[in-house]
C-alpha cells in the first residue's frame, strides 16, 4: 500500500508550556516544542506508525519552509513542497501547567495557493502511482475549476479520497470521488435545505445527488454512518473510552482506513480497524500514540442498514 496526501494549508506550530497566562503581561515558557501541522501531515505520521508507505505533498514558502522540511526529515516523513508566495502559516499553542483551562491556540494568516502550484502538486501526485491520493484540509485560494485537475484519476489505479471542507469540498463532490470522509456539519453544508434530517437520512440524500462512490460521516463521539458501493449503509458506534485528547483522531481514522482498504479489501474490516485506531488515539495523549497491537478493546459496533 502506498498513499500520497496533499495538504493545502501547512502549519508551522510552536507549543509553549507556561505556568499561567495573564493578559497584558510577559510570559516565559517552561518548555517549548515545534511540529509541522496540517491534516495530510498527520495522516502520513500515522501511516508511518502503521507501516504504510506515504508521501506528504504541501505548499511552502519563506524561511519557515526549511524549518518544516527539517522537522519532517527528522520524523522520517517523505515529503515534497511546491512554491507558496507567502510564508508557511505559523501557529502558537499555549498550555497552562497550573490551570485547568484548555490550551489556547493562535493561528497565523492563511497563505493562498497559486493555480500553477496546485497543478504541479496534482501532477506530481499522479506520477507517484499511489494506491490512494488524499486531499486533506482547507485549500486557501481555491478556485472551482481546480477540481478538473483530478478528474482523470479514475483512468489510473490511484483512488481519490477527500477530507476537506468549505469551497473545495463543495466543488470536489461534483466529480466521481472514491471516498469522502467529512463530519456532520460539513455534510449539512452540502445539503443546506435538509439539515433537520437524521444523519443517515441526510447521507441517503447525498448518495442520490452526488457522484461520490463511498461516504463516511463522523459526528464526534456519536455513531458514524457510512455508505459503500454498490448499496450498503452502515452505522458505526465507537467503543466507550475515557477521552484524553481527541486531537488528530479524524486524521488517524483516515490513515488507518486507507492503510487497510483497496479494491479487493473488505470495507467492513477496514472500518473496524480505522475506528479502533481513532478511538485508541482519543484515549491517548498525543497524535498516533495509541497502543499497537492489540486494538480489539477499541473495536466498534457496526450494523448494516437498508439503503
CA nearest 181: which of 207, 159, 214?
214
Average pLDDT over residues 36-58: 95
How far from 210 is each of 67, 135, 172, 196, 304, CA to CA, in Å?
40, 18, 10, 19, 22
241 within some domain: yes
Q: What is the pLDDT of residue 210?
A: 97
pLDDT score of 247 more than 80: no
301 in a structural domain: yes
15 falls within a domain: no
Average pLDDT over residues 18-39: 91
pLDDT score, position 228: 92
Q: What is this structure's pTM?
A: 0.92
At 131 the pLDDT is: 93
Residue 26 lies in a domain: no
- 10-14, 59-63, 167-171, 299-303: which range is least confident on average? 299-303
Beta carbons of 94 and 129 less than 8 angstroms apart = no
Highest mean pLDDT: which of 121-125, 260-264, 267-271? Answer: 121-125
Q: Per mean pLDDT, which range of 109-118, 181-190, 283-292 is the poorest?
A: 283-292
Q: Is the residue at 23 inside a domain?
A: no
Lowest mean pLDDT among 137-146, 195-204, 216-225, 259-268: 259-268
What is the structure's pLDDT at 294?
Answer: 65
Instruction: State the pLDDT at residue 251.
Output: 93
Predicted confidence at residue 146, as pLDDT, reads 96
| pLDDT value for 83 | 96
Contact assessment for residue 10 and residue 89, using Cβ atoms and an 8 Å cutoff: yes
Our measurement of the distance from residue 303's CA atom to the centroid of its chain's CA atoms, rounded to an integer in Å, reads 25
How many domains is the chain built from? 1
CATH no. for residue 270?
3.40.1190.20
Q: Is residue 203 part of a domain?
A: yes
CA–CA distances in Å: residue 158 to residues 185, 206, 277, 291: 28, 24, 24, 30
- SS3 (DSSP) at 99: coil
Grid coordinates in use for 159? 483512488
β pairing state of 89-96 and 11-18 = parallel
224-244: average pLDDT: 86
* pLDDT mean across residues, the chain: 91
d(CA 286, CA 284) in angstroms, rounded, equals 6
Please indicate, yes or no, if residue 104 is contained in any of the structural domains.
Answer: no
Residue 16 lies in a domain: no
Task: Write down the pLDDT at residue 72.
Answer: 97
Does position 265 have pLDDT exceeding 80, yes or no? no
Q: Range of 223's domain?
A: 2-9+38-88+110-305
Instruction: Choose the weakest-confidence range: 85-94, 155-164, 176-185.
Output: 155-164
Sheet (strand 232-237) strand order:
79-83, 53-60, 2-7, 132-136, 159-163, 179-183, 215-219, 222-228, 232-237, 301-305
More confident residue, 292 or 212: 212
Amino acid at each position: 500500500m502506498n498513499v500520497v496526501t496533499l495538504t493545502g494549508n501547512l502549519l508551522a506550530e510552536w507549543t509553549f508550556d507556561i505556568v499561567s497566562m495573564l493578559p497584558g503581561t510577559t510570559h516565559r515558557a517552561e518548555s517549548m516544542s515545534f511540529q509541522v501541522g496540517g491534516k495530510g501531515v498527520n495522516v502520513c505520521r500515522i501511516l508511518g506508525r502503521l507501516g504504510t508507505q506515504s508521501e506528504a505533498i504541501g505548499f511552502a514558502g519563506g524561511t519557515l519552509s526549511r524549518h518544516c522540511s527539517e522537522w519532517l526529515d527528522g520524523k522520517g516523513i517523505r515529503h515534497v513542497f511546491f512554491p507558496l508566495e507567502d510564508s508557511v502559516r505559523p501557529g502558537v499553542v499555549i498550555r497552562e501547567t497550573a490551570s485547568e483551562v484548555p490550551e489556547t491556540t493562535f493561528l497565523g494568516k492563511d497563505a493562498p495557493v497559486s493555480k500553477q502550484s496546485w497543478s504541479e502538486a496534482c501532477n506530481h501526485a499522479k506520477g507517484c502511482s499511489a494506491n490512494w491520493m488524499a486531499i486533506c484540509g482547507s485549500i486557501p485560494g481555491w478556485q472551482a475549476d481546480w477540481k478538473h485537475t483530478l478528474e482523470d484519476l479514475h483512468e489510473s489505479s490511484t483512488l481519490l479520497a477527500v477530507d476537506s471542507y468549505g469551497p473545495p469540498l463543495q466543488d470536489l463532490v461534483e466529480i466521481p470521488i472514491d471516498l469522502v470522509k467529512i463530519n456532520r456539519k460539513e455534510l449539512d453544508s452540502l445539503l443546506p435545505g435538509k439539515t433537520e434530517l437524521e444523519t443517515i437520512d441526510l447521507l441517503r440524500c447525498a448518495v442520490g445527488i452526488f457522484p461520490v462512490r463511498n461516504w463516511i460521516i463522523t459526528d464526534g463521539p456519536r455513531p458514524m454512518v457510512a455508505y459503500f458501493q454498490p448499496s450498503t449503509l452502515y452505522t458505526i458506534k465507537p467503543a466507550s473510552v475515557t477521552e484524553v485528547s481527541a486531537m488528530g483522531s479524524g486524521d488517524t481514522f483516515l490513515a488507518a482506513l486507507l492503510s487497510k482498504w483497496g479494491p479487493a479489501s473488505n470495507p467492513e474490516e477496514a472500518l473496524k480497524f480505522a475506528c479502533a485506531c481513532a478511538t485508541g488515539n482519543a484515549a491517548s495523549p498525543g497524535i498516533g500514540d495509541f497502543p499497537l497491537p492489540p486494538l480489539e478493546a477499541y473495536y466498534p459496533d457496526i450494523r448494516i442498514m437498508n439503503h
